[in-house]
């Protein structure tokens, strides 16, 4: 029986010990919406096998006699059976003021994929509202220019 050379050992260890778990940002605090790489409350943590990284944005509106308050939170971490969802696409006023709305983004394509750079911080309903305002503003501006030209 032949002994293994140092090169054989390195090659075998590279294939046997080469399996690593996915690493995700972990942050459960009041300011997890900021860039986790610059947030001392965020840490890099390995996930268990078959887990994904997740970033969850939650928002709820509270209407009181003293005014309307928006409560929001962002958390990051590992999750089993993670399924992305966006309640903001169909979030009615009743849902927003009773149980709140959630946007959950899941990823497992690379380490730390639940960072601010990989996932948008602004819920999609804000993007739609901004686009609508922009289109309305530009269309009314064009209409005004047409009216003044005639």
Q: Are 54 and 105 in contact (CB under 8 A)?
A: yes
For residue 30, what pLDDT is reported?
84
Nearest to 54 by CA among 125, 136, 119, 140: 119
Q: Give this prediction's pTM.
A: 0.64
CATH topology of domain 20-119: CD59 (2.10.60)
User: Residue 103: which residues within 8 A CB-CB, separation 6 or more?
Assistant: 56, 57, 85, 86, 87, 88, 123, 124
* Rounded-to-integer distance, Cα 83 and Cα 52, Å: 9
Per-residue model confidence as pLDDT tens for the chain (150 residues): 456 666 654 444 444 444 568 999 999 988 899 899 999 999 999 999 999 999 999 999 999 999 999 999 999 999 999 999 999 889 999 999 999 999 999 999 999 999 976 544 444 444 444 443 434 443 444 333 333 333
Strand blocks (E) in 28-139:
43-46, 51-64, 67-80, 85-86, 101-107
* Rounded-to-integer distance, Cα 98 and Cα 104, Å: 19
* Gyration radius from the chain CA atoms: 24
CA triple 116-121-127, angle to 5 deg: 140
């Amino acid at each position: 029986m032949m002994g293994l050379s140092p090169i054989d050992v390195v090659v075998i260890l590279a294939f046997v010990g080469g399996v690593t778990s996915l690493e995700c940002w972990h942050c459960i605090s009041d300011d997890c919406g900021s860039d986790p790489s610059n947030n001392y409350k965020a840490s890099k943590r390995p996930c268990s096998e078959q887990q994904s990284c997740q970033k969850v944005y939650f928002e709820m509106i509270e209407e009181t006699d003293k005014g309307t308050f928006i409560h929001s939170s962002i958390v990051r971490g590992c999750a089993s059976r993670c399924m992305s969802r966006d309640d903001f696409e169909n979030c009615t006023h009743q849902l927003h003021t009773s149980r709140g709305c959630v946007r959950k983004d899941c990823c497992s394509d690379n380490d730390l994929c639940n960072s601010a750079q990989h996932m948008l911080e602004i819920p999609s309903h804000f993007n739609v509202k901004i686009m609508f305002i922009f289109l309305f503003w530009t269309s009314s501006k064009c209409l005004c220019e047409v009216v003044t030209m005639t």
